[in-house]
Chains A and B, each alone.
Chain A
Amino acid sequence: MIKKLIPVYENQTPLVVLELIQGHKISEIMSRNVVSVKPDVTMREVKLMMKDRGISGMPVVRQKRLLGIISVEDLLNALEDGLMDDSVEKHMSRNPVILEEQMPVSFAIDYFENYSFNRFPVLNESKELVGMLTDRDIIMHMIKVMNGEIGRLEELAKHGHHTEIGNVIRRYAVVQNDFKNAGKASSEIKALLQEHDVDRKIIRAAATAIYELEINQVVHSLGGEIVCRISDDHVEVLARDRGPGIKNIDLALSEGFSTATDWIRSMGFGAGMGLPNIKRVSDDFRIKSSESGTEIKVIINLPEDS
């Protein structure tokens, strides 16, 4: 893998940071009041608009459709060639690189890393221009979320030394079809809970949920990760994969439904009990899925005396 300039995808990236960039959508952080120009406006007018607003680039739009981007650089070229009475349409950059509002913030970070642009137009599902995203928007968002998260962590740390387990976070990568290593997360978490004399029934519930999540990723996904967060009163398991997603979640949650292949079934898996099992043993179960991946969050409560 190519070494990234922005070091946010490394193995040891704290969960808080991963959540911050993967758990938020571009639509939440982009600027919505976009100053745009129509294609028949002259370059001279554009110059005034940019000067007045102190901006260095604008989208060119006709009836919400993005036609291109006009930047200070285009303006300088037109000025030099004495073409300031031309329409914007003649000087704008066509086919600009765009972001979609449903993409996670991590995509935007990749874009800023891969392209030299300072801003990206953001389109909705109907390909209409709905916002602009600058690196400033990302920084502001990061600081806002970081404030909240770090405040929360500080709060946890304050109470941390009163507890037995404290706050443990473990992250496991899961590889497609890698049956041999499936079970690593569940057995480690099981051992950890055993060390703290957690009730056997609860250990089994947690280990079962984690194991089924591991097997699900091995069998059905292109790979993913399992993040286990153990605190004083509960175990939280977050399983995220890279797709292809569950077509019908209701169906997947009904016992006996399975899309597994014969080979997987011959191993004793794919009986359509994985998700129902997980749901049954957990105190809270959330699932969302799209073609770009499935995310399952499970909570198992630890009773006070354990």
Chain B
Amino acid sequence: MNIKELNDKLKFELLTKCPDSEIKKAYTSDLLSDVMGNAPDDSVLITIQAHKNTIAVASLAGINAIILCNNRKAPEDMLPAAESECIAILQTGLNQFDASVTVARALDLCS
């Protein structure tokens, strides 16, 4: 499913333009090295790391969208960086666990 379809279900706040990329899986982590090493391609990252380096890591790891949890504010330089890498940023008041559960349901990953 693409990012727009996903967020129609999630109803999180979209902070950037919405690229038409596919989301197949999700990964939850606040350790960027862990994200870089283990996050699957074409995934959405669920994290509280709201800064520009998260974009760099996401771009390297093939992550197409980032969900910022606990309403973490994205600093000014983060959003343009995300847009130039065609990565969507979503924001939610949920914590990482609850956001992960919500995403898992939306992506139909729960068995």
Q: Is A273 an interface residue (CB 8 A)?
A: yes
B49 touches A267 (CB 8 A): yes
Against A, the Cβ 8 Å flags (1 = close, 0 = not) of B47-76 are 101011110110111100000000000000
Judge whether A208 and B60 touch: CB under 8 Å.
Answer: yes
B62 & A200 in contact (Cβ 8 Å cutoff):
yes
Which listed segment binds B: A153-161, A176-184, A241-249?
A176-184
Neighbouring A residues of B47 by C-beta, 8 Å: 268
List B3-59 residues whose CB lies under 8 Å from chain A.
30-37, 41, 47, 49, 51-54, 56-57, 59
Describe B's contact surface by its main secondary structure: helix
Q: Is B41 a contact of A200 with CB atoms below 8 Å? A: yes
Q: How far, in whole Å, are A131 and B57 apart by their CA atoms in the complex? A: 50
Contact indicator B37/A277 (Cβ below 8 Å): yes
Q: How far is the CB of B72 from chain A (nearest CB, A)?
A: 12
- Let me know if B37 and A268 touch, CB within 8 A: no
- Asked if B53 and A182 sit within 8 Å, CB to CB, the answer is yes
- Residue picked from A186, A271, A281, most chain B C-beta under 10 Å: A271
Count of A interface residues, CB-CB < 8 Å:
24
Contacts of A212 in B (CB 8 A): 33, 36
A306 contacts the other chain (CB 8 A): no
Interface of A is mostly: helix
Contact of B56 among A186, A273, A274, A276 (CB under 8 A): A186
Q: How far is the CB of B5 from chain A (nearest CB, A)?
A: 23
Interface: A240 (CB within 8 A): no
Q: What are the residues of chain B within 8 A of A211 when measuring CB–CB?
A: 36, 56-57, 60
Q: When the two chains form their complex, are residues A183 and B53 in contact, meaning their CB atoms are under 8 A apart? A: yes
A271-B53 contact in complex given A204-B61, A208-B36, A277-B36, C-beta closer than 8 Å: no
**Contact status A187-B59, CB under 8 Å:** yes
CA distance A277 to B37 in the complex (A): 6
**Which residue of chain B has its CB nearest to the CB of A269?**
B32
| Interface residue A300 (Cβ < 8 Å from any Cβ of B) | no
A267-B37 Cα distance, complex, nearest whole Å: 17
Q: Which residues of B contact A204 (CB under 8 A)?
A: 41, 60-62
Q: Beta-carbon contacts of A266-291 to B below 8 Å, as 1s and 0s? A: 01110101101100110000000000
Which of A182, A268, A276 meets B31, CB within 8 Å?
A268
Residues of B within 8 A of A (CB): 30-37, 41, 47, 49, 51-54, 56-57, 59-62, 77
- A/B interface sample: 19 pairs, CB < 8 A: A180-B52, A180-B77, A183-B56, A186-B60, A207-B60, A211-B60, A212-B33, A215-B33, A215-B53, A267-B53, A268-B31, A268-B35, A268-B47, A268-B54, A271-B34, A273-B37, A276-B37, A277-B37, A281-B37
